[in-house]
A and B are shown apart, each in its own frame.
Chain A
Amino acid sequence: MNKRALNKLISLFSLVCVLLISAPEKAGAVPGFKRQTGQDCTACHTIFPELTPFGRAFKLTGYVINKTGKSYPSFPPISAMAQFSYSRTDASLPQGSIQDTWSTHSLHSENDVLGSPQQLSLFYAGQVYGKVGAFIQGTYANDTNNIFMDAVDIRYANNTTLWDKDLIFGVTLNNNPTIEDVWNSSPAFSFPYASSNIAPTPAAATLIDNSLAAQVGGIGLYAHWNNMFYTAVSVYRTANNGITSFFGANNTINTIVDGAMPYWRAAFNYQYDVHSFTIGTYGLSGNVFAGPFNNMPTDHFTDVAIDGQYQYIQDRHTASLQATWIHEDQDRSGSFSLGNASNQSDSLKTLRITGNYYYRTELGTPGGSVGFFSTSGDSDSLLYSPNPVSGSSTGSPDSNGVILQLDYLAPWQYAYTKVSLQYYIYNKFNGSTTDYDGSGRNASDNNTLYLLVWLAF
């Protein structure tokens, strides 16, 4: 390691130490929520950002549960978050892949990358007035080196009784299908909650699997009856222009939805004492322009998914299991007419299963997760063409592997800081195990070791 790199490492370490020491006492996952409710962060999160039943109630009731009982927060619910990371891929990336900036430092040639920070976020998270609340996240990310609108979920919620059972109902304005959901098996808040942003990622992903995050804006209605049956419907339009442009502010909108795109969600939930179990379905259907301009022909996507979650939350032991399966039908007639797809229709299937366990002690909460992921689908030699690192030599979108992660959460009495050590292991990447890109790169070359320090204020 050269002297310059060592100085950078020492500077990063010092910065992390200063932040750890200065982290406010009893900060929380989104500390504005904690200050508003007076509750320990573990009331809403098993280990952030996974939600407990109380956390789900807090979100469903519009982020307005308030220990003062007033119609407005005692002070503006502003919070902040910082993520510092180290990433190492098993084989270095090609020359020129990583640009050194003030927040991105490559310690060795195109590898051993420090994100210092990887991400900084500012939140308005909590009650706005009365029954209106919001979770709005603005973010600086080191890979894009700019500030942009990250997550938006603005809600009005109310409750009544229907057939003598509680009914929560509400309206949400948000910028990502499934961000309105309260279970961690649907994509917006699913494992892994953070990962390296310099490591190569598979070429194929379904539209509902976060491909529309901050690319759209929409309005939805939801209802949760008897703490058992949940249903939601929303409609989205592009955040590229018009009244929804706020939802994608300063983002590059490269997935442009044509017209309205409906989204649905239905789930059955049963919670008793320390156990909670959920099974559900979600999906969307709509047109997306087959290129970066809205005068191009369109492709049509229909995503149908099923998911489930089990949680066991005891005072010391917390275990949970999440799974989802997504099937996407793609009518690629737009891309086909432009010569960007070799098939008129394609399909993709994604499966994810994650198991988590944590043990809460006075000295903090250690634990970890094991996740399996798989995306497979029809081969399409134009959609998935050979290209160094990001391409496919076979035209196949198939990727699968395992994520191993160890976490440590500092005692909440001192600071809410999460340290994670993650290892991404690819068995198959863009269709192959060896020479997947046609340039000699193997799937295992993209295996990534990732160390993350996640601070909340």
Chain B
Amino acid sequence: MKEMLVSALVLLCVATDFGGLKYTLSADIEKGKALYQERCMICHGPNGDGKGQGAIALNPKPANYTQKKFWEDPNIEKTIAETIMKGKGQMRASPDLTPEDIQALISYMTQTFKPN
């Protein structure tokens, strides 16, 4: 009886809230990926290593998201968000992006480039 209750609960979770959460996360990642490819990839590269086509004439080079060092800052997400909104060095600001857009971008970058 107990096993049946647990199974029913799991099914319920998957079918409702947890499934929705998964869907939302997936949509965010897709949105973040699209934004990254549209706005960031040219300099930061398709692999997030800072070796995009436009990086060749920039000094300092664009940030390398595949390095552990980049993610060591405990406030890195806040730093990324501020950099997107205000710009930094040769990187132009993107004031037209919403907080949701920026969160989606950070989610994509974290999931795709952050080393384990």
Listed in ascending order, the chain A residues whose CB lies under 8 Å from chain B are 37-40, 42-43, 52-54, 56-58, 60-61, 65-67, 69, 159, 166, 168, 224, 227, 271-274, 313, 315, 362, 413
Interface check B116, CB cutoff 8 A: no
Partner of B57, one of A43, A57, A273, A362: A57
Annotate B49-84 by CB proximity to A: 1 below 8 A, 0 otherwise: 000011011111000000000000000000000000
User: Which residue on A lies nearest to B39, using beta carbons?
Assistant: A38
**Given A67-B41, A274-B90, A315-B93, 4 more pairs with CB closer than 8 A:** A57-B56, A69-B41, A224-B57, A362-B95
Partner of A273, one of B39, B42, B90: B90
Distance (whole angstroms) from the CB of A127 to the closest CB of chain B: 11
Distance (whole angstroms) from the CB of B31 to the closest CB of chain A: 15
A315-B54 contact given A38-B39, A38-B42, A67-B41, CB 8 Å threshold: no
B89 in contact with A273 (CB, 8 Å): yes
User: Which residue on B lies nearest to A413, using beta carbons?
Assistant: B96
23 A-B contacts (beta carbon < 8 Å): A37-B42, A38-B37, A38-B39, A38-B42, A40-B92, A54-B90, A57-B57, A58-B54, A61-B56, A65-B53, A67-B37, A67-B38, A67-B41, A67-B42, A159-B56, A168-B56, A271-B59, A273-B59, A273-B60, A273-B89, A315-B86, A315-B88, A413-B96
B54 in contact with A65 (CB, 8 Å): yes
Report chain A residues within 8 Å CB of B90.
52-54, 273-274, 313
Listed in ascending order, the chain B residues whose CB lies under 8 Å from chain A are 37-39, 41-43, 46, 53-54, 56-60, 86-90, 92-96
- 8 smallest CB-CB distances across A and B, nearest first, come from A57-B57, A315-B87, A65-B53, A38-B38, A273-B89, A227-B57, A166-B56, A315-B93
A315 in contact with B92 (CB, 8 Å): yes
Report chain B residues within 8 Å CB of A168.
56-57
A43 in contact with B95 (CB, 8 Å): no
Distance (whole angstroms) from the CB of A364 to the closest CB of chain B: 13
A61-B53 contact given A39-B42, A227-B59, A315-B87, CB 8 Å threshold: yes
User: Which residue on A lies nearest to B88, using beta carbons?
Assistant: A315
User: Which residue on A lies nearest to B58, using beta carbons?
Assistant: A53
Partner of A39, one of B37, B39, B56, B89: B39
B46 in contact with A43 (CB, 8 Å): no
Tell me the complex Cα distance, A54–B96, Å.
21
Tell me the complex Cα distance, A315–B93, Å.
7
Tell me the complex Cα distance, A61–B57, Å.
10
A69 in contact with B57 (CB, 8 Å): no
User: Which residue on B lies nearest to A271, using beta carbons?
Assistant: B59
A54 in contact with B93 (CB, 8 Å): no
Tell me the complex Cα distance, A216–B4, Å.
86
Tell me the complex Cα distance, A159–B53, Å.
10
A65 in contact with B42 (CB, 8 Å): yes
Tell me the complex Cα distance, A65–B56, Å.
11
B42 in contact with A42 (CB, 8 Å): no
Q: Chain A CB within 10 Å — which of B42, B60, B88 has the most?
A: B42
Report chain A residues within 8 Å CB of B39.
38-39
Tell me the complex Cα distance, A40–B94, Å.
8
Report chain A residues within 8 Å CB of B41.
67, 69
Distance (whole angstroms) from the CB of B47 to the closest CB of chain A: 11
Distance (whole angstroms) from the CB of A54 to the closest CB of chain B: 5
Q: Chain B CB within 10 Å — which of A42, A54, A66, A272 has the most?
A: A54
Q: Chain A CB within 10 Å — which of B53, B54, B57, B89 has the most?
A: B57
Report chain A residues within 8 Å CB of B93.
315
Report chain B residues within 8 Å CB of A52.
90
Distance (whole angstroms) from the CB of A169 to the closest CB of chain B: 12
B57 in contact with A54 (CB, 8 Å): yes
Q: Chain A CB within 10 Å — which of B56, B87, B95 has the most?
A: B56
Tell me the complex Cα distance, A243–B96, Å.
48
Report chain B residues within 8 Å CB of A38.
37-39, 42
Tell me the complex Cα distance, A365–B93, Å.
14
